[in-house]
Structure 1
Amino acid sequence: MSGPRLESGDEPTTGSHGILPPAGVETDPRDTAGEAPERRRRMVDLAPLKASPAFARLWIGTAISGIGAQMTIVAVGLQIFDMTGSTMMVALVGGIALVPMIVAGLWGGMLADAFDRRALLIASSLTGWTAVLGLVALSAWDAALIADGERALVWPFYVLTTINTVAATISGATRSAVTPRILPSHLISRAAALNGISFGTMLTVGPAAAGVLVATVGLPITFAIDAVLFTAGFLGIIGLPKLPPLGAVSKPGLESLREGWRFLKHAPNIRMSFLVDIIAMTLGRPFALLPAVGALAIGGGPVTVGVLTAAAAIGTLLASLFSGPVAHVHRHGIAISRAITVYGCFVALVGAVILAMTLGAGGEVGPDWSQVSWPALIVAGVGMAGMGASDEISAIFRSTMMLTATPDDMRGRTQGLFQVVVAGGPRLGDLYAGAVASLVALWAPPLFGGLLIVVLIAVVTRSQRSFLAYDARRPTP
């Protein structure tokens, strides 16, 4: 339910990232049937970094460049809100990119099955970098126009952000397919835990840095720092070996898409994992509201935006750091449904805080950091952190279910569709949040959305018993 990243591995049992399993979820002391139990560890395993220098370089580079990418995501929202004063215009950043991103995810998955994955990563990364350089120029132009009482046009920001999103979607699908080629299979789940840490670090440091930088040095320099940090990610990609397709190549095109669709028609558990994520991300995404929350509800302006966004990432990071016990959870369908239910409760908590502040419970607030309501910020931060942690637990089990139950010749295409879900769901969520906030109130999207998540997850998972009965020791799509 978060942004694109390596999510799982090829093993028949989970060994990825998370925190203690939800109460009542069946666990087993064995990693595989008939084997002696491994020592239960609570902390993440660093073995993949030692086993593969190529993976280590890619992991470090992705983490550093990802910090810049998250800075840009926050900065774009702040830029457009500053130019328009409209939450709906901020939400359109994701909405406009949705259809191109879906096409990119589907096509990128086919490309990852058909071409050298290193070359594809280089091409898509350079495309994204070019788009960020364009944002630097546009933001600097807007800053120059302000002195003359004018503003730049908004639509070029949408165009460049869409290009960046398309490039990131293709890179995400390809990167997920790279890891099994540079690591032995028994380390892939542990690599997923490490990627959870890097993703949490991106989401913790990037948004917080964006909030501080925008408030101190301005938007153009914030975008420029992302362009500089990109270098680390590119060096990690350049350090990969050539990764041409193995075996028969499925030529990208309509027939390749039909093959993937035929597979999904007979994969109810994988389809359900997509559906529950779409529900959670469509109804439980308050991030597009944060510029208005920082200005009008909680106060604190851009710094509050950075703090709340980073709080969600801290939850993700903590879930990844304490990843050991998740390896012994095998009833993945139950774990997913309970994690998303908890996620919905935390989303509703954030909405309740905004409602309370809207009713005047926190006194006078404003867009300056000195005008923030500290009690509201703390409670909302707890809600965002809980969202990040429960989201990460769900992502562990959904992605592990998908990759372990999917045959190798379908992995690229299912990864492409997975990127569409994990990236497209949040964009639908941004549109939902912007529309409901405009029609009802700022507090309505998270409060109503969180409660709807709880209800819908209970209904849809009980309609398909095979999903709740899913056992990772006998993976079936």
Structure 2
Amino acid sequence: MSLGRALLDVRPLRTSPVFRRLLIGRTVSTLGGFMTMVTVMFQVWDVTHSAFWSGAVGLAQAVPMVGVGLFAGAWVDRADRRRVYLMATVGQAACSVLLAVQGFTGHVPVPVVLALVAVQASFGAVGAPAAGVFVPRLLPRDQVAAGLALNQVTGQAMMLLGPAVAGVVLGWWGIGVCYLLDALSFGLAFHGAFGLPALPPEGERSRPGLYGVLDGLRFLTGHRVVRGALLTDLAATVLAMPTSLFPLVNAERFGGDPHTLGLFLSALAVGGVAATAFSGPVTRLARPGPVMLCASATWGVALALFGLMPNAWACLGMLVLAGAADAVAVLSRTTIVQTRTPDSLLGRVTAAETVVGQAGPHLGSLRGGVVAGWTSGATALVGGGLLCLLAVTAVAAMTPELRGRAASGRVRSRRGASDRLPPKEAPPRGAAGPSHEHPPRLAAPPSAPPEPASPGGAAQEPEGPQAAAPAGP
């Protein structure tokens, strides 16, 4: 295999100027988002010196994503997705402007700051399912995975760069400038999406309110491939999420050395970035189901071995492998979900996928902490990794469609008919556009604020009646 085919597939960048503009806007906006995340935590800690209020920052960001997300997905499936995304972008920018104003003026109560963060997260919960339509709606089917990989690698890069830039800006110019830079970054995101065509739902529109949400949940429970993909992700996160155990393992084996703890976190990120940078074979291979299952199993095995390794370098190697497997699993899962979901349901399914991505790691961290409290950090890691492997094996056994090529088929919305279209009938798509990027599950915000820098072959899958239920009334 040539090096060019092994590297990240950049065909969407070459074939579509629209995609390039959208990707640039999304990348800059993501950088601003990570800067704001760090700045909010720094400001809240600087004012309160309270672990409670620092923890409330994460709550203010997560609760709207879960509470608003599912209903936002139902609304997105009734409206022009481009218009919804632009409106959400303007709302997020306005919140950043208000955060900048309070940052420059000072003396704003912390609950007000958290309220602004929650409102901004609510706009983000509306924009995410709208953006989730862009790649599968606008890219040719053979470039969908490549477009998702480009979104993922830029998101990972900004996840690494954003906190560092925020630390420098905080040290030199203060919190107001950080918030202002984030507000300006939304301008590029707006410019990138403004050139998109109208993107109304194809087929029946979502029923309003709770009925539309329930239609989306019926699809998730009735569609074997999509259900299997999300169950695999939950197995990997709830049963084996390792980050909350790092401090304990570091204390048990390596004397609590802070440098070792930092290397643990960095190793996961390095593995994820490297895997995405060399994701060409993965995105060109039209078998995301087997790839996701193998990557998720590798994630569990690598973390179990990490729990057994006595040597720090061997531990870091296992974490690099786990981070790489995580990135590949997330990319493959997203490809499955976005290519197997009819357009009329894609907003709701994307919202549900986002909720799973938010809740799974937190539940996994809780599970790891409880088990480690009863036993040890190593036992929690090894047990969680092996349970993850068993759960992934069970999903693979119960969902044979995930083991074949059926997981890569493209679907279109329908009026009362089956939502699956054989791959050979899928029409070619036109110009490209970015989607809401689904970052690896390791991209969780830090639990404590950083210090600022000092100045200086298609198998037919049976789908039940619930899966084929029309989205409309």
The TM-score, its normalising length taken from structure 1, stands at 0.70
* Mapped partners of 1:198, 1:351: distance in 2: 30
* Mapped partners of 1:323, 1:70: distance in 2: 24
1:284 pairs, out of 236, 241, 253, with 241
Query: Is residue 239 from structure 1 mapped to residue 195 from structure 2 by the alignment?
Result: yes
- Higher alpha-carbon deviation: 51-60 or 448-457: 448-457
Which residue type is aligned with residue 396 of structure 1? L
1:403 shift after superposition: 2.7
Which residue type is aligned with residue 251 of structure 1? R
Does the 8 Å CA contact 1:95/1:427 hold for their aligned counterparts? no
Over 3 Å counting, the alpha-carbon distance change for 1:428 and 1:210 in structure 2 is: farther
Does the 8 Å CA contact 1:204/1:310 hold for their aligned counterparts? no
Instruction: Summarize deviations over 1:346-394 as a string: whole Å, max 9, x none.
Output: 76899999xx9xxxxxxxxxxxxxxxxxx99x99987775554322111
Instruction: Summarize deviations over 1:418-475 as a string: whole Å, max 9, x none.
Output: 1222234345567778x879x969xx8x866644531331232333313476235123
Which residue type is aligned with residue 275 of structure 1? L
1:75 pairs, out of 10, 29, 39, with 39
1:399 pairs, out of 323, 334, 339, with 334
* Mapped partners of 1:410, 1:42: distance in 2: 34
Does the 8 Å CA contact 1:55/1:183 hold for their aligned counterparts? no
Over 3 Å counting, the alpha-carbon distance change for 1:344 and 1:95 in structure 2 is: farther
1:87 shift after superposition: 4.6
1:119 pairs, out of 79, 83, 89, with 83
Structure 1 unmatched runs, 5+ = 1-19, 21-37, 146-151, 357-374
Over 3 Å counting, the alpha-carbon distance change for 1:267 and 1:155 in structure 2 is: same
1:119 shift after superposition: 0.8
* Mapped partners of 1:350, 1:454: distance in 2: 9
Does the 8 Å CA contact 2:60/2:118 hold for their aligned counterparts? yes
Which residue type is aligned with residue 174 of structure 2? G
1:252 pairs, out of 190, 203, 208, with 208
- 1:322 corresponds in structure 2 to 278
- 1:92 corresponds in structure 2 to 56
Instruction: Summarize deviations over 1:289-338 as a string: whole Å, max 9, x none.
Output: 99xx9xx96559xxx98x98776544333222211221465665554344
* Mapped partners of 1:352, 1:213: distance in 2: 41
Query: Is residue 461 from structure 1 mapped to residue 392 from structure 2 by the alignment?
Result: yes
* Mapped partners of 1:386, 1:39: distance in 2: 20
- 1:339 corresponds in structure 2 to 295
Does the 8 Å CA contact 1:347/1:384 hold for their aligned counterparts? yes
Q: How many residues align?
A: 400
Query: Is residue 420 from structure 1 mapped to residue 351 from structure 2 by the alignment?
Result: no
- Higher alpha-carbon deviation: 180-189 or 41-50: 180-189
1:122 shift after superposition: 1.0
Which residue type is aligned with residue 453 of structure 1? G
Instruction: Summarize deviations over 1:403-426 as a string: whole Å, max 9, x none.
Output: 333334332221121122223434
Secondary structure in structure 2 of the residue aligned to 1:66:
helix
* Mapped partners of 2:319, 2:181: distance in 1: 26
Does the 8 Å CA contact 1:285/1:430 hold for their aligned counterparts? yes
Secondary structure in structure 1 of the residue aligned to 2:207:
coil
Which residue type is aligned with residue 44 of structure 1? L
Which residue type is aligned with residue 218 of structure 2? R
RMSD: 4.1
1:221 pairs, out of 177, 180, 199, with 177
Does the 8 Å CA contact 2:74/2:347 hold for their aligned counterparts? yes
- 1:410 corresponds in structure 2 to 345
Over 3 Å counting, the alpha-carbon distance change for 1:432 and 1:85 in structure 2 is: farther
Which residue type is aligned with residue 398 of structure 1? R
- 1:470 corresponds in structure 2 to 402
Which residue type is aligned with residue 158 of structure 2? M
**1:31-50 pair list within 5 angstroms:** 41-50=5-14
Which residue type is aligned with residue 54 of structure 1? V
* Mapped partners of 1:440, 1:77: distance in 2: 27
Secondary structure in structure 1 of the residue aligned to 2:402:
coil
Structure 2 unmatched runs, 5+ = 408-460, 464-473
Query: Is residue 192 from structure 1 mapped to residue 148 from structure 2 by the alignment?
Result: yes
1:116 shift after superposition: 0.9
Does the 8 Å CA contact 1:287/1:430 hold for their aligned counterparts? yes
Which residue type is aligned with residue 178 of structure 2? T
Over 3 Å counting, the alpha-carbon distance change for 1:285 and 1:455 in structure 2 is: closer
- 2:120 corresponds in structure 1 to 164
Does the 8 Å CA contact 1:94/1:431 hold for their aligned counterparts? no
1:63 shift after superposition: 0.7
- 2:445 corresponds in structure 1 to none
Secondary structure in structure 2 of the residue aligned to 1:245:
coil
Which residue type is aligned with residue 241 of structure 2? G
Does the 8 Å CA contact 1:203/1:310 hold for their aligned counterparts? no
Which residue type is aligned with residue 335 of structure 2? T
Identity %, equivalent residues: 28
Does the 8 Å CA contact 1:47/1:190 hold for their aligned counterparts? yes
Over 3 Å counting, the alpha-carbon distance change for 1:313 and 1:276 in structure 2 is: same
Over 3 Å counting, the alpha-carbon distance change for 1:380 and 1:134 in structure 2 is: farther
**1:344-355 pair list within 5 angstroms:** none
Does the 8 Å CA contact 1:287/1:309 hold for their aligned counterparts? no
* Mapped partners of 1:222, 1:314: distance in 2: 26
The TM-score, its normalising length taken from structure 2, stands at 0.70
Which residue type is aligned with residue 470 of structure 1? L
1:341 shift after superposition: 4.8
* Mapped partners of 1:390, 1:289: distance in 2: 18
**1:2-151 pair list within 5 angstroms:** 41-87=5-51, 89-141=53-105, 144=106
- 1:25 corresponds in structure 2 to none
Secondary structure in structure 2 of the residue aligned to 1:250:
coil
Secondary structure in structure 1 of the residue aligned to 2:5:
coil
